[in-house]
Amino acid sequence: MSEPVDPKKVAALNAKLESLGIRGEDLEEQFVRGSGKGGQKVNKTSNAVHLRHGPSGIDVKVHTSRSRELNRFLARRTLAERYEVEVLGKKSKEELAGEKKRKQKKRRRRRVKPPAGEGDS
């Protein structure tokens, strides 16, 4: 069976966590039972990941996959994103997408209106 997460992505994520100052010793990791689709596999195994960063107090729970390793990777990635937003003050992906939408709507509103008198019958 192949590994669920590419080792290059894991290495890149570990480098990002290190650059943010998030150490492995500061993380409390628990594997809990998830819920939802997946049937017997989900009901019998503890593959949902609950990750807590002690110094910042950020909690993340991920259960998007039936694979424990993939959920571990996604939890760490989510924790890094939330750390950037909450502690470092960077804008989240959702905020950036919202700003992009507002700019697009603003450009559309600035369309030139036809001069007065044209189109009148």
pLDDT in tens, 101-111: 999 888 888 76
Parse the chain into domains and list their residue ranges.
Answer: 7-109
Whole-structure pTM over 0.85, yes or no?
A: no
Q: Nearest CA to 60 among 76, 36, 46, 42? A: 76
- Whats the size of the chain, residue-wise? 121
Q: Which of 33, 26, 20, 18 is nearest to 88 (CA)?
A: 20
Check residue 65 and report its DSSP letter: S
Element (H, E) at 78: helix 68-86
- At 16, which amino acid appears? K
pLDDT digits (tens, 9 = 90+) for 63-81: 998 889 999 999 999 999 9
Q: Please, what CATH class does the domain formed by 7-109 belong to?
A: alpha beta
Encoded tokens for 54:
């002690």
Tokens of 52: 């807590």
* Beta-carbon count within 10 A of 22 CB: 21
Low-confidence residues in the chain, pLDDT < 70:
1-3, 111-121
